């Protein structure tokens, strides 16, 4: 998981913004992405997605060309190819990393409110199954995101999301209707047979080292990255 530390971005995107879609200087984003790939040993580039809060999953087998567009209209990506870095971007939504160390398959998914309720994680697990994994073999990390104490929503929205993603309804620290997407996603994963689920406890709204759209409005995006080590 990246933070705001390092990088070339300035202004509201300072410093290590990795998204091309938020209005940042393209040269700064390119430099930040190059640094990420080099420092992780994932050259020539990490695979990024043009995320649209959907459930489409891409399967890739080669590193990204840094000059190429991000994979269009896609919110999750999987691979069985060593050395291919997969990234999802977030600034309050839940970045999710998945791995089957036995089958040698990894995945990354962007699970915001809409995509999480629509089933982006079951779709990702299904795509990994096509590459030979089993849910019970998966290890999953739910990354930093807005916590239930900070994610205030209308009561009708909370009920709608909880109907699709049971366990996500909560109350904020102000006592208003809220959503805890990580709680709902954890329950959903357990329901399809995933036993090893870790949760990064950081709240993006509360942690100034992380980007948060809800806190700042115009801001950058952090990345969650996974890969299979070659050899």
CA distances from residue 179 to 110, 155, 168, 221 in whole angstroms, order as listed: 16, 10, 5, 21
**What is the distance between the alpha carbons of residues 139 and 175, in angstroms, rounded to a whole number?**
34
Report the chain's mean pLDDT, rounded to a whole number: 97
Check if the beta carbon of residue 165 is closer than 8 Å to that of residue 115.
no
CA distance 87 to 85: 7
Predicted local confidence at residue 175, as pLDDT = 98
Q: For position 85, what pLDDT does the model report? A: 98
Domain ranges of the chain: 11-226
Residues of the chain short of pLDDT 50, as ranges, are none
Give the separation between CA 211 and CA 3, rounded to whole angstroms: 7
pLDDT tens digit string along 94-141? 999 999 999 999 999 999 999 999 999 999 999 999 999 999 999 999
Q: For the whole model, what pTM was predicted? A: 0.97
Q: In the chain, what is the straight-line distance between the N-terminal and C-terminal CA atoms, in Å?
A: 23
Burial class (CB in 10 A: 0-12, 13-18, 19+), 50: middle
Class at the top of the CATH hierarchy for domain 11-226: alpha beta
Can you give the pLDDT at residue 231?
72
* Residue carrying structure tokens 């060593």: 82
- Give which of 187, 151, 189, 185 is closest to 170, Cα–Cα: 151
Task: State whether residue 101 is helix, strand or coil.
Answer: coil
DSSP state of 63: P
pLDDT at 92: 98
Can you tell me whether residue 170 is helix, strand or coil? strand
CA-CA-CA-CA torsion sign (178, 181, 182, 185): positive
Whether residue 124 contacts residue 180, with contact meaning beta carbons closer than 8 Å, is answered with no
Count of other CB atoms within 10 angstroms of residue 29: 24
C-alpha to C-alpha distances, 216 to 21, 204, 211, nearest whole angstrom: 16, 11, 8
SS3 62: coil
Q: What local confidence, expressed as pLDDT, does residue 70 receive?
A: 98
What pLDDT is stored for residue 230 in this prediction?
Answer: 87
pLDDT, position 49: 98
Distance CA 41, CA 122 (A): 30
Contact 59/77 with Cβ under 8 angstroms? Answer: yes
Task: Say what the pLDDT of residue 75 is.
Answer: 98
């Amino acid at each position: 998981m990246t933070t705001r530390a390092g990088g070339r971005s300035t202004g509201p995107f300072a410093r290590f913004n990795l998204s091309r879609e938020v209005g940042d200087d393209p040269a700064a984003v390119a430099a930040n992405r190059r640094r990420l790939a080099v420092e992780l040993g994932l050259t020539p580039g990490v695979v990024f997605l043009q995320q649209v809060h959907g459930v489409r999953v891409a399967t890739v087998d080669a590193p990204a060309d840094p000059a190429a567009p991000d994979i269009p209209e896609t919110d999750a990506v999987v691979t069985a190819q060593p050395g291919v870095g997969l990234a999802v971007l977030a600034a309050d939504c839940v970045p999710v990393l998945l791995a089957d160390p036995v089958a040698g398959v990894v995945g990354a998914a962007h699970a915001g409110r809409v995509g999480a309720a629509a089933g982006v994680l079951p779709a990702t697990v299904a795509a990994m199954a096509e590459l030979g994994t089993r849910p019970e073999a998966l290890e999953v990390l739910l990354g930093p995101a807005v916590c239930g104490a900070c994610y205030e929503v209308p009561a009708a929205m909370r009920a709608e999301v909880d109907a699709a993603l049971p366990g996500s309804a909560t109350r904020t620290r102000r006592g208003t209707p809220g959503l805890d997407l990580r709680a709902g996603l954890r329950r959903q994963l357990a329901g399809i047979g995933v036993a090893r689920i870790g949760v990064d406890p950081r709240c993006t709204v509360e942690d100034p080292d992380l980007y948060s759209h809800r806190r700042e409005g115009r801001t950058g995006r952090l990345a969650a990255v996974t890969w299979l080590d070659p050899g």
